[in-house]
Structure 1
Amino acid sequence: MNMSRMQKYRRIEQAAPGELERLREQVSRCPWRQTFHIQPSTGLLNDPNGFAYYQGEYHLFYQWFPLGTEHGMKYWYHMKSADLAHWQDVGIGIEPGGPYDSHGAYSGSAIEKDHKLYLMYTGNTRDADWIRNPYQCIAVMDEHGRIVKEEKPVISSVPEGYTEHFRDPKVWAEAGQYYCVIGAQRSNLTGCVLLYRSPDLKEWELLGEMVTRLSHFGYMWECPDYFELADQGVLIFSPQGIEPEGEHFRNIYQSGYLTGKPLNLDTRVFEHGEFQELDRGFDFYAPQTMAAPDGRRLLVAWMGLPEIGYPTDGSGWAHCLTLPRELSLREGKLIQKPARELSKLRKEMTRAHHSLHDETRRLDGFSGASYEMICEFSAYDAEQFGIEFRAGAHEKTVLKYDRLRKKVILDRSLSGQTVGEEYGLTRECTVDAPALKFQLFVDTSSVEIFINDGEEVFTSRIFPDKLSTEIRFFASGGSAELDAVVWKY
């Protein structure tokens, strides 16, 4: 193994003396540490894993490489919460390094069985010629939080006709059986999802491919997630290799979904509509859902993307998770709202009303680097109107509505340190409505924006100066009525 690979595929106990302490000190000096998002103590965070409700608490794991900001030796790191708003750091959940996860415990999911939480994940291994051999593995968490890996993988080989890109099992129970979908790549280098069935989570039978209309749609489908909502089937996945198309598919990799009739488990046929993107922003990938005890379908995603450098890399850490969202279906479209429990984060509140007439205006009490804000624009004839936030003398992130084009636009061209410039500095989507409601969750280095109660969502990292804390409201080419409320976090 060459030196760069040796550095990337080290476990924590292989760190040099004092290395972790130096890394923590480096991270502590970073001006872009988040205040209410899940983020790594050091190193790199990516996919959310094992999102589940067990023993009266929500459990959420994430992919973690502790010793750098590249995609190296992956652990599962464990967080838990009683309310989806306040998270407790539990520590390492799954440690790699065994014969079937020698080069990382890759993504997977969780399900309760016999009063224990079963974690099904992809074990990543490399042989002497650096050829990948994936295994689908099981670890079991008991009611005391102890996690033990099963000795043998439960799926030990890649099916014939598929490449070594075979990972990310998402498991569920139905009609007395367990099923899982696994992301795969066919030998002809196109992406798909494979469907498996098990009576006990240990003996798995390959049923075959999930049959969709997307036979040539990217070269790999990562992080598949099948569930049913309002008597409809939903398949979420992250296809790689999709070309940009107008305002769609602008990021390096996409995350989206299909909706249709429930999956026929006998024929594996999924009758569905068009592929739709889940998020319109710059930084959103590898989402995972779970069913809450009250029946809600909740989603969390990685607020980041592979193969792109981020400004925090130089400070020894990278990425965070999105806030939890509640999913519902409306005419074949997934509606995403912030989990209602997030209101527990609200502190001091300020309200304002203003009639904007060809102006940019600051309002008393509206500023900060960490807050939730709801702005409603109505009775508008302005050509454009919106918000400048995390703004300063030379910086601003702009969220606006272009009435003539009927587009909501997020512009981070002046947001501070840049990210992924080669993929563009603006994102937009079409919204045609008599009023516009923008709900923003702004943290030190991110924003999550819900348009008209979750009809569209923009998720993005931003890296402004710590002094850029102004909020400005504007209308140009006419007027708009503004009602706004902000809660400090």
Structure 2
Amino acid sequence: MEHFDKKEIDAKIAAGFPLTHRRHNRLHIEMPFGLVNDPNGLVYHAGAYHIFYQWNPFGCTHKNKSWAHTATRDFCTYTMPTLALWPSDAYDKDGCYSGCGTVEDGRLRVLYTCNAKDAAGNRSSAQRFGTLVRGAVQKEEIVIAGPPDGFTSHFRDPYLFHWKGTRHLVIGAQTAEKRGCVLVYREIADGWTCLGELKTQLKDFGYMWECPNLLSFGDCDVLAFCPQGVPARDYDRQNIYQAGYIAGHASLDAMEMLTHGRFKEFDRGFDFYAPQIFTHEGRHILIGWMGMPDREADYPSRAEGWVHSLTLPRVLTLRQGHIFSAPAAELKALRHRETERPLEAVGESEFSATLYDLTEIILDLTMGEAYSIAVELLFGLEKLVFRYDRLAQVMTIRRDGMKLGGRGERRFKLYAERILSMRLYVDHGAVEAFFRHGEEAATIALFPEKNIRPTMRIFSDVDMDRISGVLWELEPLHFEGEGHGGDGENM
């Protein structure tokens, strides 16, 4: 177990802000050093949104799993990130794995998975509460010592929710037969009791389910989770691991997701996993990890000493069993109003515009007689391509035109009758795309070889009726005290 000196690590974090290396993202939360992964403990408390996330401060490997913490009132200005939770005893000596946040008696508390291995490499997984006090989580009682009989030690990522006035949690699990599932626990007078597996109609759906969330959209419930070991298909499940949901009705009396639809993915890009969703004032807000396990070679920033980001915060809505996602409205405050530039062309098959280093783009492409439409982001001779086949109703994302990092393509079904709508956020090393007003989304990590301002090029097989839209230069996220060694404890 590494020695964690919080004061020393926090000072090193503060000294690393503002992020200045050209590959560092500035619209997305990331760290000046180390490996970032799963968002955790998302909760609204004392006037601010609190965001924890897994972090290895000692390298770009999946070891030394700790939690960093930041807070924001507006998703634009954040407290300086600090180390908040780290391995320190026999229960979590091999990592503080994912968990959730809650507010209890005015305190911000977290519930997380303790990971420990013995000399033979056998894993033990326990669930533990802690309370955030002066920037650090004070560890408290172990509330679930291990998985129930019939399940392996792959037992992690607790998520709290209320049902019929009583606190419950869902947790990712694996049966002894190596089948992924979600278990449900109920809080009782003297602890927590396991109600069993929340059954679904999904068959042969992976060997492990991670990062479950259970939430309600009015009279419909959504079970979100990350299955591992699900084979790819032509138009979905194309990443090594998936992140998605089923929508139906959760009955904890029957212990089943009733009348649910098929599994759908939150994001169609290359680099999205382990999302967590929290609710405040009626908004379901999702933050995901912009990365992918077991794909280390796709992320060359490791050579610079850091890797991965969190996604933009997205607000989710459910319509007819399908989740739509949109960037949080607060992000509009990042727009430089004086840089607003209209994008307009009538009866053209080609159009281009020079972008800013940090850009938001809103596009409406009235296709007319065009059946093949492409939107390219060009970085000198490199490019990322979004190509829409109107006849097949398929969107294809290709990043084979990039020299560094991951490549390949992703394809998914998308129906656009007359107008193809897109919204793009372009960061130094990332693009987040929203299609058809959030019907689908895609997260893509990019590593342009040269430090060059991108250009957007739109073209089609024949003239389109109209190209319309707008773009803005965006302000980078601001971290309080950056450049001044701020303590990050103001929220």
Q: What is the TM-score of this pair, normalised by structure 1?
A: 0.90
What is the aligned partner in structure 2 of residue 87 from structure 1?
A: 78
* Equivalent residue in structure 1 for 2:94, among 90, 96, 103: 103
Partner SS for 1:288: strand
1:388 deviates by: 1.5
What is the aligned partner in structure 1 of residue 327 from structure 2?
A: 338
1:155 deviates by: 0.5
Matches within 5 A, 1:172-183: 172-183=161-172
Of the two structures, which has the highest relative contact order with CA contacts closer than 8 Å and spacing of 6 or more? 2
1:153 deviates by: 1.1
* Equivalent residue in structure 2 for 1:297, among 270, 273, 284: 284
Are 2:316 and 1:327 aligned?
A: yes
Are 2:225 and 1:214 aligned?
A: no
CA deviation string 1:369-402 (max 9, x = no partner):
311100110142123223222x144111112322
CA deviation string 1:336-390 (max 9, x = no partner):
111111111111211121125333x324xx312311100110142123223222x
Distance 1:375 1:178, change over 3 A: same
- The one-letter amino acid paired with 1:433 is E
- Gapped regions of structure 2 (runs ≥ 5): 475-491
- The one-letter amino acid paired with 2:288 is A
Distance 1:81 1:199, change over 3 A: farther
Larger deviation, residues 316-325 vs 166-175 = 166-175
In 1, Cα distance between equivalents of 2:261 and 2:370:
36
In 2, Cα distance between equivalents of 1:279 and 1:392:
24
Are 2:138 and 1:148 aligned?
A: yes
Q: What is the TM-score of this pair, normalised by structure 2?
A: 0.90
- The one-letter amino acid paired with 1:460 is I
In 1, Cα distance between equivalents of 2:274 and 2:34:
18
Distance 1:148 1:13, change over 3 A: closer
* Equivalent residue in structure 1 for 2:54, among 42, 63, 88: 63
> How many pairs were matched up?
467
> Is the Cα contact below 8 Å between 2:113 and 2:125 reproduced in 1?
yes
In 2, Cα distance between equivalents of 1:104 and 1:113:
25
* Equivalent residue in structure 2 for 1:270, among 221, 240, 257: 257
In 1, Cα distance between equivalents of 2:341 and 2:20:
31
Distance 1:396 1:178, change over 3 A: same
What is the aligned partner in structure 1 of residue 486 from structure 2?
A: none
What is the aligned partner in structure 2 of residue 470 from structure 1?
A: 455
What is the aligned partner in structure 1 of residue 373 from structure 2?
A: 385
What is the root-mean-square deviation of aligned Cα atoms in Å? 2.4
Partner SS for 2:155: strand
Partner SS for 1:362: strand
> Is the Cα contact below 8 Å between 1:285 and 1:301 reproduced in 2?
yes
Matches within 5 A, 1:174-253: 174-199=163-188, 203-253=191-241
Matches within 5 A, 1:14-29: none
> Is the Cα contact below 8 Å between 2:388 and 2:396 reproduced in 1?
yes
What is the aligned partner in structure 1 of residue 485 from structure 2?
A: none
Tell me which stretches of 4 or more aligned residues in structure 1 moved more than 6 Å.
none
Are 2:297 and 1:312 aligned?
A: no
Distance 1:443 1:356, change over 3 A: farther
In 2, Cα distance between equivalents of 1:134 and 1:337:
35
> Is the Cα contact below 8 Å between 2:85 and 2:136 reproduced in 1?
no
1:146 deviates by: 5.1
> Is the Cα contact below 8 Å between 2:426 and 2:432 reproduced in 1?
yes
- Gapped regions of structure 1 (runs ≥ 5): 1-8
* Equivalent residue in structure 2 for 1:488, among 470, 473, 486: 473
> Is the Cα contact below 8 Å between 2:366 and 2:464 reproduced in 1?
no
What is the aligned partner in structure 1 of residue 364 from structure 2?
A: 376
> Is the Cα contact below 8 Å between 1:367 and 1:471 reproduced in 2?
yes
What is the aligned partner in structure 2 of residue 76 from structure 1?
A: 67
> Is the Cα contact below 8 Å between 1:225 and 1:288 reproduced in 2?
yes
In 1, Cα distance between equivalents of 2:359 and 2:367:
26
Larger deviation, residues 436-445 vs 463-472 = 463-472
In 2, Cα distance between equivalents of 1:11 and 1:450:
42
In 2, Cα distance between equivalents of 1:304 and 1:483:
32
1:98 deviates by: 1.4
In 2, Cα distance between equivalents of 1:431 and 1:87:
38
> Is the Cα contact below 8 Å between 2:91 and 2:115 reproduced in 1?
yes
